[in-house]
Amino acid sequence: MDLSKTVNLPYTEFEMKANLPLNEPNIIEFWKENRIYYKALNKNKNNNKVFILHDGPPYSNGKIHLGHALNKILKDIIVKYKTLKGYYSPFIPGWDTHGLPNEKAAIDTFKIDRKKVSPIYIREKSKEIAVNYSEIQKEQFIRLGVFADWENPYLTLNPSYESIIVKSFGELYQNGYIYRDLKPVYWCYECETSLAEAEIEYKNKISPSIVVAFKLLNQEFLNKYNLNEAYILIWTTTPWTLPANVALAFKPDSSYVIINYNNNNYIISKEALFNSWQLEFIRKGEYKILFEFNSNELNNLKAKHPFIDRESILLPADYVDISDGSGIVHTAPGHGLEDYLTGKKYNLPILSPIDSEGKFTDEIDFLKSIHVNQANNIIIDIIEKNRLLLNKGNYEHSYPHCWRCKNPVIFRATYQWFLDVQKMKDKLVKEVNQVKWYPEWGLIRMLNMLENRPDWCLSRQRVWGVPIPVLYCNNCKKPNVNKVLVDHIAEIISKEGSDSWFKNDSNYFKPNGYKCMYCSYEDFSKEEDIFDVWYESAVSHLSVLYNNLKFHPSDLYLEGADQYRGWFQVSLITSVGVLDRAPYKAVLTHGWVLDEFGRAMHKSLGNVIDPMEIVEEYGADILRLFFATTEYTNDIKISKKTLATIVEIYKKIRNTIRFILGNLYDFDINAFDLNIDNLLLLEKYILFRFKELLNEIEGFMEKFEFHRYVNEIYDFIVHDLSSLYLDIKKDVLYTYAKDSFERRSTQLVLYHILKSLLIILFPILSFTCEQAYKHLKYTDSISCYLESFPDFNNINFNLDEINNVKNIINLYKSSLPIFEVLKNQGNFKTLNETILKIYSNDNSLLDYFQNNFKLIKEIFRVADIELSNSYNFANLKDKQITFSIGDKNYTLFIDFIKSNYLKCERCWNYFKELKQIENHKVCNRCLDVLKNVGIVI
């Protein structure tokens, strides 16, 4: 007789080796074929619980990187959790498709000469690229296990979406937030377009650096200080902006000086004497201070422009830094934002004699058609010839560059459409304060950013985008914007797409019988500018939430922390502008994925890791588990080493699942009902622990603390299950009669815990849980995702019983080091061949142990236990432990001695006596089992 054949060893087809890269695609196929995402939605549709996470659209001009993967996986975890909790939680993915990067890509890829082909052709090719990449990204997200309405994503190029873009402009206009104005904007003369702040990169650049003298014209001021003449000094690194100079700005109410050097009098701030700017004679102190005066005396004085017959006015400005340069700032309202604001305040002319290619217009005749870069030297020469140049040199500084073509940009005043952010600032602040920010510092960051937010230039001079819906009267030239007109245009675009604007004549877009709102003329020209792409993604809440889902505001926005300035902010602005409220109730941000040294990933550094490489090597579940174990609100460092750790954690989880599955191979759920009162102590204990676990992890998930969620579950798996409960219960599972009460109740508990584990881990390890779920019997659903999040709250426990088990487990844990020492001395090898000896001089404590004899024996898995109140301290000095019952502490001694018991050949436990069966010796219990199954008569 082979006794090992009479033992109930685990069996399952759920393999130990995961082989995720190979198996995951099959599971994806299963989800797709069975429409699991949609089934779960349907299931919760009438639950009256809704949770909407609104997806921010990634830009569709490349494959996904780890940042995209992190973002979508985090979103997926939340949506899956909410769905399992019974929420109706549709997740509509989106893509940002218009804009310069794709237009550039089209021009490069298809070698397009912008001046020779029609806008329609460029748009067609841009669309090809955008759609292609959105499809690629979609497949990649699906491969990561992300559940979403992949059949109906929102693309900003969809006509229905475009019409919302157009329509919202009309609504903002009607609400008084839109204006048109000449304004300096970042301008790229290579791309011939204005750029949003988001399209600017700062890089170091070497610029010419000159100090220029403006001759003071006010005789009264000169007389006061007994001077014949004096010059105001300014320092600039952009000589080409001097033709547009109309003012000189000084810091109000500050100390300024008149100094004399080489028989000339110069006016600068007092501070300027002590900083190391360009002038050598100042650095060397070769000047004489003639007078010191309050800068307010400069107010409204006039100076002569260094090479144009024009006066420049002296004005106060708070932003002037008295310790920077001369402390007096050359002001050209057409070429700088602060200059512009000063210009507006004092009604100065806004000069902008530069065309779209960066060349001077005929406003300045000697510079006509000359590019700003060439103009610098010409201007410097003229100033030098006029003997007004005090210094010329080079200066390296951080300077704005175009994010696409990497060329330096300029400030240039042009007519643009603006969204008046200043006007709604109070409302924005109010709304921001009502949003729940995760992490909390998001609130402060958002408020700080809003404070400095300038008005939003909405217009772009490009073709790949949505047209700004304005018609210009061909008679009075005034722009026509109103609700009737805009809604009409939106209607056309919703049917024909924005291509229509580029294909059709201007008058195609006016409603029947429409006349100019100013002069009643009936012939119009189209606006040629398109919307900033940020505007397009900024109205996603109007299209996806308000229009389609009929649910606004959303419960959550979740993006990288860079979006405080980006999508969070622009969405807030359009939402307040149109609907007077924020588009989100809560905002959650994540950090960036960095390399193992904590550096950002850059192509130039060669440290970029492709998420799909990780998926192909380890599997998507590994990447998901990795992200779920990080504190993602900070930046995340990723490396092979870290992934190896994750693989180990994964294996442990998988093996535990597999072991439980294996022990359920003959489980019969109908054996009896789960009635807590019927169960044995350890079964109650493990269920109690699981209930505790559920309560804890739900708290973590509500706060989006996935790493604590996973760690807590993993802790349970390692400590409570694998090393304790499962290890102890092997004896029952393997050697007890199949239908014994002990074995069946253990199986029942294992069944419920496993099923629950698969559900609570599903949001993280979707593939593995789904696969394991298929091996679980007695389930009602075809997918783990169609289950409900487990709830043990209606199970009540006798806390005295539970605490009792806890006490004994603590006794066991603190006894193990003593056992380990004895084992290493060679006295014995395993616990079950030893006798546990407990010494205490407290008889009530010994009674306590006597009453828990069975439990102690089960947990310790020893052959026997001996309790004693007499002992020799000398023999036990290293065997003292502290034992607690409640808050009462006892000191006692623990010893293990090798028993002379005999090993049962079937269950491998040790007994005082065994029975002989055929050629084997077995214990009484095993004998009963063998008789029961008829092996022994």
Site for RNA in 435-494 (CB under 7 A): 441, 444-445, 448-449, 452
Cβ-based nearer residue to RNA, 72 or 658: 658
Cβ atoms of 667 and 751 within 8 Å: the answer is yes
Least distance CB 852 / RNA (angstroms): 20
Q: Torsions phi, psi of 249, nearest 5?
A: -105, 135
Shorter beta-carbon distance to RNA: residue 516 or 926: 926
* Binding flag, residue 359, RNA (CB under 7 A): no
How many other β-carbons are positioned within 10 Å of the β-carbon of residue 878?
9
Decide if residue 813 touches RNA (CB under 7 A): yes
Q: Does 799 bind RNA (CB under 7 A)?
A: no
Nearest distance in Å: CB 601, RNA: 9
Round to whole Å and give the CA distance between 573 and 570: 5
CB of 796 to RNA, least distance (A): 25
Stretch that binds RNA, among 46-54, 111-119, 361-369, 634-642 (CB under 7 A): 634-642
Residues 706-765 interacting with RNA (rule: CB under 7 A): 707-708, 711, 714-715, 718-719, 722-724, 726-727, 730-731, 734-735
d(Cα 718, Cα 779) in Å, to the nearest integer? 26
Instruction: Single out the residue of 349, 511, 699, 817 in contact with RNA (rule: CB under 7 A).
Output: 817
Part in contact with RNA (CB under 7 A); list of ranges 175-183, 429-437, 675-683, 824-832: 824-832
Residue 445 to residue 537: CA distance in whole angstroms: 21
Q: Does 696 bind RNA (CB under 7 A)?
A: no
Beta bridge partners of 186: 195, 411
For residue 900, give both structure tokens.
């002379």
Distance CA 711, CA 718 (A): 10
For RNA, which is the closer residue by CB, 444 or 519? 444
Which residue's CB is nearer to RNA, number 407 or number 830? 830
Query: Applying CB under 7 A, does 832 fall inside the site for RNA?
Result: no
According to CB under 7 A, which residues from 301 to 340 bind RNA?
337
- C-alpha span between 802 and 791 (Å, rounded): 19
By beta-carbon proximity to RNA, the closer residue of 116 and 641 is 641
CA distances from 383 to 339, 379, 386, 623 (A): 22, 6, 5, 63
Q: For residue 95, give the 3-state DSSP assignment.
A: strand
Residue 636 contacts RNA per CB under 7 A = yes
Window 521-580: residues binding RNA (CB under 7 A): 560-562, 564-566
- CB contact set of 52 (below 8 Å; sequence gap of 6+): 89, 90, 545, 549, 551, 554, 555, 556
CB of 648 to RNA, least distance (A): 4
Rule CB under 7 A: say whether 830 interacts with RNA: yes
Query: In the complex, what is the shortest distance from the CB of residue 256 to RNA, in angstroms, rounded to a whole number?
Result: 22
Q: How far is the CB of 431 from RNA (least distance, A)?
A: 18
Question: What number of other Cβ atoms are within 10 A of residue 379's Cβ?
Answer: 27
Q: Which stretch binds RNA (CB under 7 A): 2-10, 79-87, 100-108, 691-699?
A: 2-10
Which residue(s) pair with 611 in the sheet? none
Task: Give residues 214-273 in contact with RNA (rule: CB under 7 A).
Answer: none
275 binds RNA (CB under 7 A): no
Q: 558 - beta bridge partners?
A: 588
Instruction: Supply the minimum distance, in Å, between the C-beta of residue 699 and RNA.
Output: 12
DSSP states of 865-879: EEEES---GGGGTT-
Identify residues 652-691 at the interface with RNA (CB under 7 A).
652, 655-656, 658-659, 662
592 is a contact residue toward RNA (CB under 7 A): yes
By three-state DSSP, how is residue 631 classified? coil
β-strands 593-594, 636-637: how paired? parallel
CB of 272 to RNA, least distance (A): 17
Window of 192-200, 212-220, 275-283, 929-937 that interacts with RNA by CB under 7 A? 192-200
Q: Give the footprint of RNA on residues 12-51 (CB under 7 A).
A: 16-17
Measured between alpha carbons, how far is 881 from 724 in angstroms, rounded to an integer? 20
Binding-site member from 50, 112, 182, 198 for RNA (CB under 7 A): 198
Binding range to RNA, per CB under 7 A, among 95-103, 173-181, 251-259, 823-831: 823-831
Output the six-digit token pair for 356. Answer: 């779209």
Q: How far is the CB of 909 from RNA (least distance, A)?
A: 8
Three-state SS for 394?
strand
Is the CB of 468 or the CB of 570 nearer to RNA?
570
Residues 6+ apart with CB under 8 A from 694: 756, 760, 790, 791, 792
Q: Applying CB under 7 A, which of residues 1, 9, 671, 933 lies at the interface with RNA?
A: 9
Shorter beta-carbon distance to RNA: residue 393 or 598: 598
Q: Given the complex with RNA, which of 502 and 659 has the nearer CB atom?
A: 659
Q: Of these, 288, 385, 703, 829, which contacts RNA (CB under 7 A)?
A: 829
Q: Which of residues 492-511 bind RNA (CB under 7 A)?
A: none
Nearer to RNA, 341 or 549 (CB): 341
Please, are residues 196 and 99 in contact by the beta-carbon 8 Å criterion? no
Main-chain phi, psi angles of 206, to 5 degrees? -95, 120
How many other CB atoms are found less than 10 A from the CB of residue 666?
13
Beta carbon of residue 202, minimum distance to RNA (angstroms, whole number): 4
Q: Quick check: 631 binds RNA (CB under 7 A)?
A: yes
Binding of residue 635 to RNA (CB under 7 A):
yes
User: CB of residue 334 vs RNA: minimum separation in angstroms?
Assistant: 16
Q: Which is nearer to RNA, 312 or 633 (CB)?
A: 633
Which tokens go with 775?
Answer: 């091996």
C-beta neighbour count of 582 within 10 angstroms? 26
* Binding residue count for RNA, defined by CB under 7 A: 83
DSSP assignment string, 462-473 = -SSSPBP--EEE
Of the residues 378, 476, 594, 680, which one makes contact with RNA according to CB under 7 A: 594
Spatial distance between the Cα atoms of 220 and 236, rounded to a whole number of angstroms: 28
Closer CB to RNA, 153 or 336, in the complex: 336
Q: Which helix (H) or strand (E) holds 559?
A: strand 556-560
Site residues for RNA, window 900-919 (CB under 7 A)? 905-908
Interaction of residue 637 with RNA, rule CB under 7 A:
yes
Q: How far is the CB of 597 from RNA (least distance, A)?
A: 8
Residue found by looking up tokens 């929102």 in the block: 154
433 touches RNA (CB under 7 A) = no
Cβ–Cβ under 8 Å, residues 452 and 571: no
Among 202, 274, 366, 415, binds RNA (CB under 7 A): 202
Q: How far apart are CA 94 and CA 758, in angstroms?
A: 30
Write phi, then psi, for 257 (nearest 5 degrees): -135, 155
- The enclosing H or E element of 533 equals helix 533-538
Only one of the segments 75-83, 250-258, 290-298, 648-656 lies at the binding site for RNA (rule: CB under 7 A); that segment is 648-656
Write each residue from 384 to 403 as x if it is in contact with RNA (CB under 7 A), else as -, in one continuous string. Answer: --------------x-x---
How far apart are the C-alpha atoms of 227 and 267, rounded to whole Å? 12
Smaller CB separation from RNA, 457 or 493: 457
Applying CB under 7 A, among 39, 581, 823, 915 the residue interacting with RNA is: 823
Nearer of residues 114 and 708 to RNA, judged by Cβ: 708
Residue type for position 335: H
CA distances from 215 to 233, 293, 344, 386 (A): 9, 18, 25, 11
**Contact residues for 712 (Cβ-Cβ < 8 A; gap 6+):** 693, 696, 697, 700
